Homo-oligomer: A and B are copies of this chain.
Amino acid sequence: MDRIEKIVLLGAGNVATHLGAALQENGRRILQVYSRTIGAAEILARKLDTDFTSDLSYVYPGADMYIFSLADNALEDILKAFPLKDVFAVHTSGSLPIEILQEAGLRAGVFYPLQTFSKSIQPDFANIPLCIEATTDNHRQALFELASDISHDVRFIDSQQRETIHIAAVFACNFTNHLFSIAEEILESKDISFDIMHPLIQETIRKAVQQKPSLVQTGPAARKDDKIMQKHLDQLSSLPNYRNLYNFISQSIMQNSKK
């Protein structure tokens, strides 16, 4: 296929919003925005100065690519009702296989930006790893060219690898944030503001990025300091969930450092 020029966006959430803007900035034409809620479709369409609909039967044919950027559980329903066949369509999900589009009679691809998006913050797409997948060489080539225009980190990643990346991301992003929340709660129970942790967590991340995290593990569990760990467990007795988590993760660190 030729260069991907004309695009229809299906979805109006954070990913669709930021991706739509990035594509437009790089010279692509967003023909139309579809969303199940007409208000959401309109808001994004106005940002992109284009058309919108909440009726799948009005989705324009003739785009070079249809981007399905919806919640995983919504995608299946939308695909069942999607009237166009044999058009090139990609989804942006970390978890869903490429087959879900093939089974809907589409020429399938995946365009998964590995990043956490917030409505209010404009992401720097140039640095976001774009994990792409397609079923023919032509589509792979076209998708690679498109992706390379908006990011300098484009990778061919198959559906199985993408699921692995998604699991790793849950550990490295979602679970990490939960640990920060626990630290926040523990500190606030003693009237200490979480901001005291900022330099420490920034340095922790800097080290993990500069070197491999497995090489820079520190702390009581890593040096098997039973006395401190016991003291911490005693202190956490009023927070049994966090006490258990402390114990569980410490055991996991000790098992790893045995290797």
Query: Roughly how many angstroms separate A89 CA and B107 CA in the complex, as a whole number?
Result: 73
Count the copies: 2
**A177:B217 contact, CB within 8 angstroms:** yes
Name the CB-closest residue of B to A203: B116
Please report which residues of chain A, range 203-259, place their CB below 8 angstroms from some CB of chain B when the two chains form the complex.
Answer: 203-205, 207-209, 212-214, 216-222, 225, 227-228, 231-232, 235-236, 241-242, 244-246, 248-249, 252-253, 255-256
**A197:B218 contact, CB within 8 angstroms:** no
**A199:B114 contact, CB within 8 angstroms:** yes
Chain A interface main SS type = helix
Query: Roughly how many angstroms separate A219 CA and B95 CA in the complex, as a whole number?
Result: 12
Binding site for B on A (CB under 8 A): 72-73, 95, 114-116, 118, 123, 127-129, 153, 155, 157, 160-161, 163-187, 189-190, 192, 194, 196-205, 207-209, 212-214, 216-222, 225, 227-228, 231-232, 235-236, 241-242, 244-246, 248-249, 252-253, 255-256
